[in-house]
Amino acid sequence: MIRHCLLYLALAGAILSYPVRAGVEANTFFSAPEMTAAALSPGGKYIAAITNKPDGQRLELINPASGATSTLLNPAEFTERNASIRAITWVDDGHIAAHFSEVKKGVKDLLDTRHVQYLLVVRVPATASADVEVFRVRTKGWLVHSLPDQADTFLYAKSGPYSKVYRLKISKLGRHNQKLSKLTKKDGGQFTKANEVASVRGYATRWFIDRHGAPAAVLSYTANRDLVLNVFDGDGEPRVLQTWRYADLNQLAYDTSAPLRSRTFPIAMAENDDTFYCLDFAEEEERTVYKINYATDEETLVFETASFKIIDLILLPPDNTLIGVEVLRDGGIHSVYLDSQLSQPAAATTAASFQSFVSHDQSGKRSLVFKEGHSQPGRYVFKNNHTGEERVVGSHYPHLAETLGSRLVEQTVSVEGLEIPYLLTLPARKSDQPYPLIVQPHGGPIGIFDHRYFDLETQFLAANGYAVLRVNFRGSSGYTAELKEAGRKQWGKLMLTDIHRAALQVVSRADIDGSNVCAFGMSYGGYAATMLVLQQPDFYRCAITVAGVSDVNLYLNGPDINTRQDAWLKEYVGDTEAEYEDLKAVSPVYLAEQLQRPLLIMHGVKDEIVDIEHAFRLKLMLEKYQKPFTWHVFPEGEHGFSGVGEQAELFTKVMQFLAQNLGDR
């Protein structure tokens, strides 16, 4: 397959170099988020932040009072290997724990290339001219709790046949590059019985710490691979609260009818005894957070995210209030915050902006707040809780702050008795002429939704004079269970109807040019864009598909789909054995002869979600019928096109295509 891809790359025609009309260039608009994580020190004097600079990542120290910033750690200077800082935690006012990861490469493409992770502790310099000291925990394990009330001390876990938690002193650790000798013990000889604070039989995967900094529960595997949740009572001895039998785990993994407590795993303690925040592993990707009391069986849905896989929760001490989640999206870890003004997911509110507390000092007088708006990128704000004074200390995209100003319209359209919500983004600049419209279906499609907050791609299109319509068609999450479940087996049917009916309603507005409409999407959105232009050529003047599905049966029979995913796809999309002809009938590759409008096809060679074979099959059929299309392949492109260079290149080509096929703006 790769050999064929390279051949096509050599022969593929590039998009013609038509000039893009005056607007914002993709090369200057798209960038890596500058500040990706931040934490306020226990005393409230400093902020530690992970930032991205043009030459790489940094751990920075910010004085919010003066605005002064200094670099504590530069991975590129710290090690010659490809390395990154994954997360940060204040241990006390003078020390920051940094979860560090570096790639130790073996022979190219062989399995001995691996990621090595370890804990660094960075001492905050007493003066601006003092050197930064970096200590390292050499023993394999992980930081369990920072114990901010106890200076120089933190809890660290080791896993094995017997898993244990130890209390360690930073002052006894060795410096990162210090060589061990007969006179220096590894990690200061601290992994002893005297420093042990909790233990359990079995391989621990997660420890749960109470508000006093003591281990309260542990999730561990037994010798026969059962998963056990133990809690520690007053005597310090573990008590079994829940067991997941190994023999049942595989069956439960794709049995959505099983009792919730049997198909969810706890990942954090909640505020009450025996109560935990849990993820549902029966989902295709973990996108829902529940609160479950395993003693009383009380269950509550507390959060559902539009992003991909939830990998951790963001909790506000001391009561472990849930304020957000960390998600794995397009190969990176991203923070998604709840709206602190609500008791429900942010998507259910009509406000176009939100804020959430990230951390606060021990006195409660100062806090670090995350804010984001529809046309305002996410930013970290230092707040004096007594005076209300605020200061922005960092932003995801500082070059876009206060420059966009697009307008948001939220409405619904009724389709077969179901209210379909949609978001219409209008350019900031008002015009005497109506705006051309980009209809942009989201990917997924089940369990994903377009939110009303900042979206980089939407804002780029709006900054270039296009109105952007995003429809939360049936199957979308974030609104109601009825809307989500209505998407079952509607992949090429009512989902498309919902999108088109919303577009018809929008073009009735005086400020929208109904004669200048183009469909544009990625993944399922690319599939939908292609189908819309095939079905409604009198309405859509063009379409753009990026990493789009062209053959639904091919997608459902992908080589990397496991048993659990296969069961889910049969339930929500279709069964390729029983419904082969129905799925073929809604596959663009078999409808290519109907194409009447220009189509731009873009795909990444390294896409492991929607194989590039989809693009080549569609290309082949369009050439057979001599239909109009433009083609571009990204040799290093994966499914998400998350790299800054790829994003800029992709949207440059999008703008060129739109300039060719839509009228003047």
Tens of pLDDT along 14-30?
A: 333 333 345 789 999 99
- This prediction's pTM: 0.83
What mean pLDDT do residues 493-522 have?
97
Every domain range in the chain assigned CATH 3.40.50.1820: 407-660
The residue among 643 and 541 whose pLDDT is bigger is: 541
Q: How confident is the model at residue 12 (pLDDT cuts 50, 70, 90)?
A: very low
Give burial (CB, 10 Å; 0-12/13-18/19+) of 284. middle
Q: How far apart are alpha carbons 146 and 133 in whole angstroms?
A: 18
CATH superfamily, domain at 407-660:
Alpha/Beta hydrolase fold, catalytic domain (3.40.50.1820)
Predicted confidence at residue 157, as pLDDT, reads: 97
pLDDT at residue 183 is higher than 80? no
Give the count of alpha carbons within 13 A of 652, CB side only.
19
In three-state secondary structure terms, 335 is strand
Of 244, 305, 299, 262, the C-alpha closest to 277 is 299
What mean pLDDT do residues 496-509 have?
98
Q: 445 preceded by cis ω (within 30°)?
A: yes
pLDDT at residue 657 is higher than 70? yes
The residue among 200 and 559 whose pLDDT is bigger is: 200
Predicted confidence at residue 351, as pLDDT, reads: 57
Q: How confident is the model at residue 252 (pLDDT cuts 50, 70, 90)?
A: low
Predicted confidence at residue 480, as pLDDT, reads: 80
In three-state secondary structure terms, 569 is helix
pLDDT at residue 113 is higher than 60? no
pLDDT above 90 as % of the chain: 60
Tokens, residue 156: 């660290």
pLDDT at residue 269 is higher than 70? yes
Tell me how many degrees the CA angle 540-543-548 measures, rounded to the nearest 5.
135
What mean pLDDT do residues 253-264 have?
71
What mean pLDDT do residues 65-94 have?
90
Please report the DSSP string for 123-186 in residue order.
EPPSSTTSPPEEEEE-SS-EEEE--TTSTTEEEEEE-SSEEEEEEEEGGGSPBTTPPPBTTB-G
pLDDT at residue 287 is higher than 80? no
pLDDT at residue 152 is higher than 90? yes
Predicted confidence at residue 502, as pLDDT, reads: 98
Q: Does domain 24-137+351-403 have CATH number 1.10.10?
A: no
Predicted confidence at residue 204, as pLDDT, reads: 96
As a whole number, the mean pLDDT across the chain is 86
Which residues are bridge partners to 166 per DSSP? 156, 196
SS (H, E, C) 180-225: CECCECHHHHCCCHHHEEEEEEEEEEEEEECCCCCEEEEEEECCCC
Task: State the distance between the two ends of the chain, measured CA to CA, in whole angstroms.
Answer: 41
Task: Spell out the residues 6+ positions from residue 99 whose beta carbon is closer than 8 angstroms to its own.
Answer: 85, 86, 87, 88, 117, 119, 142, 143
What mean pLDDT do residues 492-504 have?
97
The residue among 184 and 49 whose pLDDT is bigger is: 49
Predicted confidence at residue 182, as pLDDT, reads: 66
Predicted confidence at residue 253, as pLDDT, reads: 58
In three-state secondary structure terms, 24 is coil
pLDDT at residue 462 is higher than 70? yes
- Per the listing, tokens 């619904």 go with 412
Predicted confidence at residue 251, as pLDDT, reads: 66
Q: How confident is the model at residue 13 (pLDDT cuts 50, 70, 90)?
A: very low
pLDDT at residue 424 is higher than 60? yes
Predicted confidence at residue 308, as pLDDT, reads: 58
What mean pLDDT do residues 422-437 have?
92
Of 528, 505, 488, 494, the C-alpha closest to 418 is 494
Predicted confidence at residue 250, as pLDDT, reads: 67
Q: How confident is the model at residue 89 (pLDDT cuts 50, 70, 90)?
A: very high
What mean pLDDT do residues 478-496 have?
91
Predicted confidence at residue 349, as pLDDT, reads: 37
pLDDT at residue 590 is higher than 90? yes
In this structure, are residues 182 and 228 in contact, taking their beta carbons and an 8 Å threshold?
A: no
pLDDT above 70 as % of the chain: 88
pLDDT at residue 376 is higher than 70? yes
Highest mean pLDDT among 92-106, 164-178, 294-308, 513-527: 513-527
> Which of 136-140, 357-361, 631-635 bottoms out in mean pLDDT, i.e. has the lowest?
357-361
Q: How far apart are alpha carbons 601 and 592 in whole angstroms?
A: 13
